[in-house]
């Protein structure tokens, strides 16, 4: 099936299933949303003053369907921003795009979801090898991430094990940890098995696609449509402190020099200390390598992240995040004070980062944190 027909079919199935649901008595229909405004001053930036606004309205529908539940979510991301060099230059941009558009049928041990949705999994929290389909930045107060178009099924066993399977519409844009888009004629396939282990849980994940090297972002030679297989292993234990790891390996159906094999390994620990209102700390280290053969490590990088959070009061908290690029010998630092008042959240943020931004696998909006600066953000949830 050609890719454009697959996407049309996904949207059509969603609409065909969703419209009949409104022709019968509704069990629930809820409208909510999130509005945010922000302003930023970047020291030593060409356009030092920046600001923006975003609104994400969300409509949720749910109805009993026999022994199960039929529910749906529709939301859009409306955003605009401006960059200003006082008395000289002004640039603006804006966008309106789908954020979530999915329909789900679920029973106590089973669910099937189709449409534009968020798919994420794994044990790590800051530097995530298994961040395959999302781009959540731990520093982002809104925790935004684009979704993927696809069909996701999950089955939950009585012993807390669960089985995942998915079919995704191929995207022309590279997803996290990818250097090339997908061949538009071939759907992406994958699955995950997650199971309980003593004092924790473990998972095995697999994903297959055809990478379209004509769309690569590294200016590599064009190898055509190349099969790509990605395998992941992760586990997490609660033994007082929390311990976890994630490991992935990606290989291609053709030799592409040092990009033929890619390996990532992350390990972390977290603990809440009994100091004052409770001091939470998390540390994680990521090692990534590429090479002609598996684990050859012809090119490699290593990052360590440390996050510390402390609740000052019922309504206020502080958080600091530091990343260390061991190969580049650079630090990325970020601090956020959050104050909550009813449905409003106020964030006061400051950061000191390198001008050349090499922190891996973050959203494009995170590039705002390049250099040194301060930011204020007001969020309203309704």
CA 65 to CA 27: how far, in whole Å?
A: 10
CA distances from 14 to 8, 21, 103, 171, 350 (A): 10, 11, 6, 19, 42
pTM (2 decimals)? 0.87
Torsion of CA 286, 287, 293, 296, to 10 degrees: -170
| Parallel/antiparallel/unpaired status of strands 110-117 and 316-325 | unpaired
Element (H, E) at 320: strand 316-325
SS3 of 160-188: CCEEEEEEECCCCCCCCCCCCEECCCCCE
**pLDDT tens by residue, the chain, 382 residues:** 444 434 444 444 444 444 444 433 457 999 999 999 999 999 988 889 999 999 999 999 999 988 899 999 999 999 999 999 888 889 999 999 999 999 999 999 999 999 999 999 999 999 999 999 999 999 999 999 999 999 999 999 999 999 999 999 999 889 989 988 999 999 999 999 999 999 999 999 999 999 988 877 776 777 788 999 999 999 999 999 999 999 999 999 888 888 889 999 999 999 999 999 999 999 999 999 988 877 666 788 999 999 999 999 999 999 999 999 999 999 999 999 999 998 999 999 999 999 887 787 655 666 678 889 999 999 999 9
> Any alpha helices (H) in the chain, and if so which ranges?
3-22
CA 271 to CA 238: how far, in whole Å?
A: 10
CA distances from 75 to 36, 96, 106, 175 (A): 15, 11, 20, 21
Which domains does the chain possess? 3-381 (2.40.160.10)
């Amino acid at each position: 099936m050609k890719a454009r027909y697959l996407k049309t079919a996904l949207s059509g199935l969603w609409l065909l299933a969703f419209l009949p649901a409104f022709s019968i008595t509704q069990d629930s229909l809820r409208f909510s949303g999130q509005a945010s405004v922000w302003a930023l001053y970047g020291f030593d930036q060409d356009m030092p003053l920046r600001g923006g606004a975003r609104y994400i309205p969300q409509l949720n529908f749910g109805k009993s369907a026999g022994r199960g539940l039929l529910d749906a979510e529709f939301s859009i991301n409306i955003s605009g921003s401006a960059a200003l060099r006082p008395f000289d230059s002004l640039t603006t941009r804006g966008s309106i795009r789908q954020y979530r558009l999915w329909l789900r049928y679920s029973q106590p041990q089973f669910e099937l979801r189709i449409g534009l949705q968020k798919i994420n999994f794994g044990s790590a929290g800051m530097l995530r090898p298994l961040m395959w389909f999302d781009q959540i930045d731990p520093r982002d107060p809104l925790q935004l991430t684009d979704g993927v178009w696809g069909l996701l099924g999950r089955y939950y066993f009585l012993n807390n094990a669960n089985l995942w399977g998915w079919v995704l519409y191929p995207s022309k844009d590279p997803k996290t940890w990818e250097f090339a888009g997908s061949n538009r004629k071939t759907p992406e396939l994958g699955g995950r098995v997650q199971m309980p282990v003593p004092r924790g849980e473990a998972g095995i994940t697999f994903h297959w696609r055809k990478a379209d090297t004509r769309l690569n972002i590294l200016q590599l030679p064009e190898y055509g449509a190349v099969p790509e297989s990605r395998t992941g292993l992760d586990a997490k234990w609660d033994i007082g402190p929390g311990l976890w790891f994630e490991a992935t390996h990606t290989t291609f159906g053709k030799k592409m020099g040092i990009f033929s094999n890619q390996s990532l390994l992350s390990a972390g620990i977290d603990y809440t200390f009994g100091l004052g209102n409770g001091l939470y700390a998390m540390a994680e280290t990521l090692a990534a390598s590429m090479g002609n053969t598996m684990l050859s490590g012809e090119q490699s990088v290593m990052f360590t992240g440390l996050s510390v959070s402390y609740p000052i009061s019922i309504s206020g908290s502080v958080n600091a995040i530091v990343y260390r690029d061991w190969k580049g010998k650079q630090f990325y630092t970020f601090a956020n004070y959050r104050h909550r008042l009813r449905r409003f959240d106020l964030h006061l943020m400051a950061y000191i980062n390198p001008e050349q931004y090499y922190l891996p696998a973050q959203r494009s909006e995170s590039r705002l944190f390049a250099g040194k600066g301060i930011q204020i953000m007001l969020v309203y949830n309704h």
